[in-house]
Amino acid sequence: MFGLFNKKSEKEKLQEAYSKKLAEVHKASQVNRKEADRLAAEAEEIAKKIDLA
């Protein structure tokens, strides 16, 4: 009940950003491979930050 007001940790925020970026990669891969590769690289950077957190 009180968990509703807890702020997300940095790791949780990064994991959410990573999931959103992967969704963008999937969508872009159907249209523009170069854009999908760029987004995949960004997702990989987020994954590295998650590992460090």
**Residue 3 falls within a domain, yes or no?**
no
Structural domain span for residue 45: 9-52
The H or E element that residue 30 is part of is none
**Residue 24 falls within a domain, yes or no?**
yes
Whether pTM exceeds 0.85: no
Per-residue pLDDT, 8:
82
**Residue 18 falls within a domain, yes or no?**
yes
CA–CA gap between residue 1 and residue 14 (Å, rounded): 24
- Centre a 10 Å sphere on the Cβ of residue 26 and count the other Cβ atoms it contains: 12
Per-residue pLDDT, 31:
94
What does the pLDDT look like over 1-49, one tens digit per residue? Answer: 556 667 888 899 999 999 999 999 999 999 999 999 999 999 999 999 9
Per-residue pLDDT, 6:
74
The H or E element that residue 52 is part of is helix 33-52
**Residue 14 falls within a domain, yes or no?**
yes
User: How many structural domains is the chain composed of?
Assistant: 1
